[in-house]
Amino acid sequence: MLELDELSVTYRLASGEVPAVRGVSLSVAAGEAVGLAGESGSGKSTVALSLLRLLPRTARIDGRILLDGEDVVAMKWGRLRAVRWSSASIVFQGAQHGLNPVRRIGEQIAEPLLVHRLASASEARLRVAELLEQVGLPGWRARSYPHELSGGQRQRVMIAMALACSPQLIIADEPTTALDLMVQAQVLTLIRQLIASHGISLLMISHDLSVLADVCDRLAIMYAGRLVETGPAGSSFRHPYSQALSAAFPTVGDPASRLAPRGLAGDPPDPQSLPGGCAFHPRCPVALESCSTEPIELRPVGDARSAACVLVEETC
């Protein structure tokens, strides 16, 4: 359904070029849910935005983004507009920014249907009622304004908008980050149910691995613009960075575990002056001397897992 082939994104700023994403190859099969994790600044949101070419003009995309076999990077604007929402749609973090405060939510959910001429005005009204029901909101909410809804309800509206044109792929960037834990669990359950019942592929992005593990079949971990590990959601991480990240967010729904991220000292590197060798070496608790000089590539390590670390040996 989605295939990233050596995707790189570089921002051209006054201070020089900033490599935000470096050679990411990743695929999401039909009906599969893949989670992309990393700290803020790891490049994961840049990946999300690049998929529908929603990046600022200062960004340059290299590599290929194949959406159902078609390269998004090479697409003309007319085709790209058709693909947005109808083949793939995106749920952003913080629903308050994604909704227009002065328009009723029913109009906003109907908009992609009308813009893509997928429904008449009366058909769109019926579809909006159906979509609201699917995301667990009563039909009369179509007449509400965003400020009349709670944060969780607004995020449900965003999900209804993403579903409106029956896309094959939904990209969700931190869809539950702004919500309290109880509401977060409800929204995650909703996402899980909807993608399963509609057979939709999902690429979900979060800094919180426990959230991704809850919904996704497979997880990919980014550090400093690169993938450092990919593998099935049900098995243990083997890359030192993934292990530290997963220790930072042990369990979903346990407030005590969220008070302080553990196991990960220091800050992510400045993308304009990345450390040589393995970019994680200055923070890695088990780094070897050679890690600061020898580049390390992502490679298969067995059990459907790939990792970019000299210490992760192949298992068979």
* Interacting residues with ligand SF4 (CB under 6 A): 240, 278, 280-281, 284, 286-288, 291, 296, 309-311
CB of 251 to ligand SF4, least distance (A): 24
Q: Which of 8, 10, 42, 45 binds Mg ion (CB under 5 A)?
A: 45
Instruction: For the CB of residue 297, give the shortest distance to ligand SF4 in the complex, in Å.
Output: 11
- What is the distance between the alpha carbons of residues 10 and 148, in angstroms, rounded to a whole number? 40
Q: Of 44-52, 76-84, 149-157, 214-222, which part binds Mg ion (CB under 5 A)? A: 44-52
Among the listed ranges 40-48, 95-103, 212-220, 234-242, the one in contact with Mg ion (CB under 5 A) is 40-48
Among residues 248 and 291, whose Cβ is nearest to ligand SF4?
291
The count of chain residues that interact with Mg ion, using the rule CB under 5 A, is 1
How many helices (H) and strands (E) would you count in the chain? Answer: 9, 12
Q: Which does 222 bind (CB under 5 to 8 A by kind): Mg ion, ligand SF4, none?
A: none
Closer residue to ligand SF4 in complex, CB, 222/291: 291
Binding partner of residue 45 among Mg ion, ligand SF4, none, CB cut-off 5 to 8 Å per kind = Mg ion
Q: Under a CB-based contact definition with an 8 Å cutoff, are residues 20 and 7 in contact?
A: no
* C-alpha–C-alpha distance, residues 263 and 39, integer Å: 13
Work out whether 50 is an interface residue with Mg ion (CB under 5 A).
Answer: no
Contact 165, 85 (CB under 8 A): yes
Residue 166 · residue 177 · CB < 8 Å? no
Nearer to ligand SF4, 61 or 284 (CB): 284
Residue-wise over 204-219: b if at least 16 C-beta within 10 A, else e?
bbbbbbbbbbbbbebb
Helix, strand, coil percentages in the chain from 3-state DSSP, rounded to 5: 35, 25, 40
